[in-house]
Amino acid sequence: MANEMTVQKTESLSNSEAFTNKVLKEFGSNVAGSIQVTDYQRQLIQGYFIATDRALKMAEEKRVSKNENNKDHKWDNPDPINWNTVDLNALALDVVHYARMGLDMMQDNHLSAIPFKDNNRAARTGTKMYVVNLMPGYNGIQYIAEKYALEKPVSVTVELVYSTDTFKPLKKNRENRVESYDFEINNAFDRGEIVGGFGYIEYTEPTKNKLIIMTLKDILKRKPEKASGEFWGGKKTAWEKGQKVEVETEGWFEEMCLKTVKREVYSAKNMPRDPKKIDDAYEYMRMQEIRLAQMETQEVIDAEANQVVIDTEAQETPQKPAQPAFLTDDGGQQALDLGGPAKPQAQPQPARNTTAARTTAATRTAATRTAGPTF
């Protein structure tokens, strides 16, 4: 067992080194001039490989599972998710820019890998089927804001406020020179419904302290118009016995609200950036944020629903979905399809023997794991 673990660790290290070299080569082919990275940045890139590799394997397992559960197999996704079906050229740009910024995928909620299927892009450019986006998480957003801040704060507090809490803003006036607040949780075990959130930025000079307040209405304004129930909770479109139905899902409403408040607090509007610190990596990240916001709006849209079958007779109460990837440090856990609903296969597959199907799926998954990346 010990020898086997040593071999796996050695292979992972070897693959991560090969990935790093490949990424730098791909990046260099897209950017004029040679690319120089520090030893620490190379270490970060190797960590990106480990986290992204894990994300791809989890996404592939989910793809196989969905195909097995589809009652109408014309909605199956026949394209395996692995390193050989990923657009490494596009990933290289993300990897190098984020490594230069210092984001660490091995740290909690710094950066997550989100693999998604872009049918439109594949048809238009002929590039590989899947694209992996890197998305900053809670701690990554904070790290970036403080790294590029005009003045780094001493402390930042971000909280959600519930209906049983007591919150009182203390704004500046003639008698009060320092903006502040009073906040008390009256019932920690039953706080009621979310009514809003706030952030408090403290500086060395207290008169610069800033209080940011968001009502629930403010938070929901920033919710994508077509946000998935998987994340925000509420109604979710799914397939039941070959027909579209709406089911209730708990989602991760609190986590999404907190994330929204944090994004606002750490935004350039509330924590101004230093123009002297802005570099190419930061500008690239800003462009990516726009693209990722569009992706988050369309994420899963109902292409996910086209592929997921929920049998309400067997399961009357929908289970809470797995935590979305951008709230954790374990990388993307689902492949997002931005090309609209999945295109049906030419001929629907006949009903399969369950045992045989599972055996086939297991074989495909094992084969994917065994093959590994070919850099």
List the beta bridge partners of residue 156: 201
288, 267, 41, 283: which is closest to 149 by C-alpha?
Answer: 267
Pairing of strands 130-136, 155-162: unpaired
Confidence (pTM): 0.69
**Residue 314, pLDDT score:** 32
Task: Calculate the alpha carbon distances from 314 to 242, 309, 331, 336 in Å.
Answer: 15, 12, 31, 27
Backbone angles phi, psi at 194, to 5 degrees: -70, 130
**Burial of residue 40 (number of CB atoms within 10 Å: 0-12, 13-18, 19+):** exposed
Rounded Cα distance between 136 and 220, Å, is 21
Rounded Cα distance between 194 and 340, Å, is 33
Rounded Cα distance between 322 and 8, Å, is 27
- Maximum CA pair distance of the chain? 78
Pairing of strands 111-117, 336-337: parallel
Across 76-91, average pLDDT? 88
Higher pLDDT, 236 or 329: 236
- Domain residue limits, the chain: 10-147+278-375, 149-274
Sign of CA dihedral 168, 171, 177, 180: positive
Rounded Cα distance between 213 and 158, Å, is 10
Sign of CA dihedral 122, 125, 126, 128: negative
Mean pLDDT of the chain: 76
**Residue 238, pLDDT score:** 62
Highest mean pLDDT: which range of 152-161, 255-264, 284-293, 329-338: 152-161
For residue 18, name the pLDDT band (cuts at 50, 70, 90): confident
* 133-137, 171-175, 355-359, 368-372, range with the lowest pLDDT: 355-359
C-alpha angle with apex 38: 33 to 42, nearest 5 degrees? 95
* Cβ–Cβ < 8 Å for 349, 74: yes
Element (H, E) at 243: strand 243-249
Rounded Cα distance between 146 and 361, Å, is 46
| pLDDT of 37 strictly over 50 | yes
**292-339 pLDDT tens trace:** 666 554 444 333 433 333 333 333 333 444 444 434 433 333 444 444
Q: What tokens were used for 234?
A: 């509420």
Element (H, E) at 41: helix 39-69
Which residues fall within 8 angstroms of residue 260, CB to CB, at 6 or more apart?
A: 197, 214, 219, 222, 223
Across 51-57, average pLDDT? 94
| pLDDT of 284 strictly over 70 | yes
**223-234 pLDDT tens trace:** 876 666 666 776
| pLDDT of 358 strictly over 60 | no
**Residue 217, pLDDT score:** 96
For residue 237, name the pLDDT band (cuts at 50, 70, 90): low
Higher pLDDT, 4 or 200: 200
The label of the residue with tokens 């793809």 reads 63
- % of the chain beyond a pLDDT of 90: 40
| pLDDT of 252 strictly over 90 | no
C-alpha distance across the termini of the chain, in Å:
28
Rounded Cα distance between 47 and 102, Å, is 12
Across 265-291, average pLDDT? 90
Rounded Cα distance between 94 and 231, Å, is 24
The label of the residue with tokens 């706080």 reads 191
Across 136-157, average pLDDT? 94
* Cβ–Cβ < 8 Å for 261, 199: yes
**Residue 31, pLDDT score:** 56
**Residue 28, pLDDT score:** 65
Highest mean pLDDT: which range of 19-28, 32-41, 52-61, 319-328: 52-61
